[in-house]
Amino acid sequence: SRANGNTVYLTFDDGPSAETTPRVLDLLATHRARATFFVCGEHVEQQPALVARIRNEGHLLGNHTHFHPYLTQISTAAALAEIERCQKLIEPSRRLFRPTHGLIGPSLLRQLRARGYEIAYWTLDSRDWSTTPDDILAARLTKRVQSGDVILFHDDQPNSVRILERF
């Protein structure tokens, strides 16, 4: 659903990253902004203090699997195991899931919905993973963004901080 006013939703996938996530959090704090971090379980295990900081600063945690596989290239059972493993590390009561690479098969989708997961996609990709210069990406993002957009960033990409600063 679209938000009223000038609201955009910032989301960060694939972290937390010891190198980039603290810089993202500092920037969000400077602007009193909140975001949703779709974390990978293996990084949650490696960065527990960073996960605590994300929570303590009022951001939401979402599930982005444990090891970030292509969900359409593994069995439904293996995909569910990936997702449940990550879920145990974050917030068992809030089941917010973003499929890796934005891809999910119908069988897995049915299984997740039956387990109470809300599937979260995005409407605008920052393309922070690309080799395009960050000033061009920031300008493109600024030109295209509309109120209510869910913007995809990656907090394991140094480009994301530079794009976010300009945005």
Specify the DSSP class assigned to residue 12. E
Q: Are the C-beta atoms of 102 and 130 separated by less than 8 Å?
A: no
From the list 13, 14, 134, 149, the catalytic residue is: 13
Q: Which residues are bridge partners to 62 per DSSP?
A: 38
Residue 130 token pair: 């690309």
State yes or no: is 13 an active-site residue. Answer: yes
Residue 110 token pair: 């049915």
How far apart are alpha carbons 134 and 159 in whole angstroms? 6
CA angle 57, 13, 80 (to 5 degrees): 110
Q: Are the C-beta atoms of 18 and 48 separated by less than 8 Å?
A: no
From the list 14, 64, 154, 156, the catalytic residue is: 154
How far apart are alpha carbons 130 and 157 in whole angstroms? 10
State yes or no: is 125 an active-site residue. Answer: no
Residues designated as active site: 13, 154
